[in-house]
Structure 1
């Protein structure tokens, strides 16, 4: 039965992440370490003679980026930029701002890092959840506009042209982090490895038995999986309203805010999984396409099919996958193939 196979696969994947096992086939030294950062548990696993050095450096990189990009840490670059309305940019932050503004343009504003004041008003930053009144949201919505972010390329500085503008790179930071870890792996001659950043997975090469990694895609409505993706040299990143939410007066309010309305996105999708060689892109798109909804997400993929593939689950339980990964995704569910 596929369900039993999925359970076994999930166990094996967990074993790879947490204890360094490899389907009973050991071809090289493996090292695995875990850390709590960016408000989630993360695990880094590498195979090779330099595995320990690679993992140690990867953990240090996670800690560095966590301190750099935090919106709450008063010593972080993002906190200081928000307090000062701009400032000097490090190489990492400059790159992330550039990619964020590019995504903002390409997704017609669905990915917008200036959403921070509204995220905070809802309590999704400090977990003090509350439903903001309409007047508050309307005032804060006037600050949500990435076009007011101006980068000076020569000076490596940024200016927030509208007073009160604040940014949050949380919708793109984990994907960037996982891609940076892949760079560290390659520097240490690691040919196979995996990083799990709170459900954001990125893999390098193939497993020790020379087969592709098996990444389980969570079913938002149960403890089972929607299916398993066979992955190689890519990021697999999922976004959905089930990840972080609160309930009040019988209504559920999730953390993926529509920049147009200031409310949790009213979408016909339950989850969006992006598969791409670029972890930064995958992270940002998983949020943007969730907000877009199914039809616009499909249209966007058709225009950008060379950059990523995707798995969509809609609110009716229908499962879709793009044609580029049709042979890599195993599921008990009926799957509709999205074609160009």
Structure 2
């Protein structure tokens, strides 16, 4: 645990309307078969790469409404257990601090931002705010954690989204016109302030990746060189699996089954954002929480977006969201702005759109899939800053 975190540690379905639970979401009282199958598949793939003489330590805990799976390779069990306990401690603390609708620290920050006066923010939240501001700017605000009021208006601020009609168009229009962005937040040391009362922070599309990055930093500080953290099918890896690359399954756009496999090693993150993750159906129409800040409505054109990046899971988390929101007309532009070389999108017709680099890396399971390769504009290096 870093000094910054330590200083603040606490702690009915019908034909008309149906709610769909987020694949990968687990509560202690609920066990869903699809996520368990997904985790079992990943663990089986990892086990298949294990050398006979290489120790591997595997553990699982609950954070960010999902099962978090951690595998540490090449360390003695006692050392691996101590490192895993610290990672779990950090995950749980960040979950309690950053949870959009259950966290008192987040509720306080949003309440004070709306008041417009400077206030002292939790130090552990400030690096995430700064990193989110950089990523929001680079994505042209298609990744936008400041639109918490829109998610709440749609009913996505609860563990289980309710079956209900979409919000009134006028209410959506009013929030869109207020145009809250991360640029409306100003920082001076530990002080935060906003001049836009419509800002409400919700880090749902970066918090998990941020926690994974901190977890990897913790493992490295304890001398761990080979490990993988998996949350809801999203992965951050370092090193290798007994001298071989990690084999990472990429979900289909439906959230069920595997679209393809990626071999990754070194320091890499693979994230998928999809319409299947938190949604409900009303009168035959699916509404999900990947909302376009420009319209106030859930994204319709793209069903899922997957990115592979070197390093930061927070960048991968935010980038997958931004590319899904960008749609077919802008995804390559936004990928270039974010420095993303490996990206894959599935549209509503089932066509798989990929960058040339991703096409070279992924092994699709369906040889007959409709694939479109899209070149990227000139790449720009991403300066997202350290999460600490």
The TM-score range, normalised by the shorter chain, is 0.7 to 0.9
Which 5+ residue runs of structure 1 have no aligned equivalent? 1-7
Q: How does 1:1-340 map to 2 (within 5 A)?
A: 13-15=42-44, 21=47, 23-47=49-73, 48-49=75-76, 50-76=79-105, 78-85=106-113, 87-126=119-158, 127-130=161-164, 131-146=166-181, 149-153=184-188, 155-208=189-242, 210-221=243-254, 223-232=256-265, 233-267=267-301, 269-276=302-309, 277-305=311-339, 307-331=340-364, 332-333=366-367, 334=369, 335-340=371-376
Matching residue of 1:4: none
Whether contact under 8 Å (1:149, 1:158) holds in the other structure is no
Whether contact under 8 Å (1:202, 1:234) holds in the other structure is yes
2:226 and 2:125 map into 1 onto residues whose CA distance is 28
Q: C-alpha displacement at 1:143, in angstroms?
A: 4.2
Q: C-alpha displacement at 1:104, in angstroms?
A: 2.0
SS class of match (1:293): helix
Q: C-alpha displacement at 1:100, in angstroms?
A: 1.6
Q: C-alpha displacement at 1:322, in angstroms?
A: 2.2
Q: C-alpha displacement at 1:129, in angstroms?
A: 4.2
Which 5+ residue runs of structure 2 have no aligned equivalent? 1-36, 377-388
For residues 79-101 of structure 1, the C-alpha deviation after alignment (integer angstroms, 9 at most, x for no partner) is 21012226323343212111222
Whether contact under 8 Å (1:46, 1:54) holds in the other structure is no
Whether contact under 8 Å (2:181, 2:199) holds in the other structure is no
1:213 and 1:84 map into 2 onto residues whose CA distance is 44
Matching residue of 2:379: none
Once the two structures are overlaid, the 10-residue window that deviates more, 272-281 or 24-33, is 24-33
1:176 and 1:207 map into 2 onto residues whose CA distance is 23
Evaluate the alpha carbon distance shift between residue 71 and residue 243 of structure 1 in structure 2; reply closer, same or farther with a 3 A threshold.
closer
Whether contact under 8 Å (2:305, 2:324) holds in the other structure is yes
Evaluate the alpha carbon distance shift between residue 142 and residue 219 of structure 1 in structure 2; reply closer, same or farther with a 3 A threshold.
same
Q: C-alpha displacement at 1:22, in angstroms?
A: 5.1
SS class of match (1:258): coil
Q: C-alpha displacement at 1:288, in angstroms?
A: 0.9
2:41 and 2:143 map into 1 onto residues whose CA distance is 34
Q: C-alpha displacement at 1:257, in angstroms?
A: 0.7
For residues 94-126 of structure 1, the C-alpha deviation after alignment (integer angstroms, 9 at most, x for no partner) is 121112222222222211112111111111111
So what's the TM-score if we normalise by structure 2?
Answer: 0.77
Whether contact under 8 Å (1:218, 1:225) holds in the other structure is yes
Matching residue of 2:6: none
SS class of match (2:58): strand
Once the two structures are overlaid, the 10-residue window that deviates more, 23-32 or 156-165, is 23-32
Q: C-alpha displacement at 1:301, in angstroms?
A: 2.6
Provide the alpha-carbon RMSD of the alignment: 2.4
Whether contact under 8 Å (2:262, 2:362) holds in the other structure is yes
1:243 and 1:159 map into 2 onto residues whose CA distance is 32
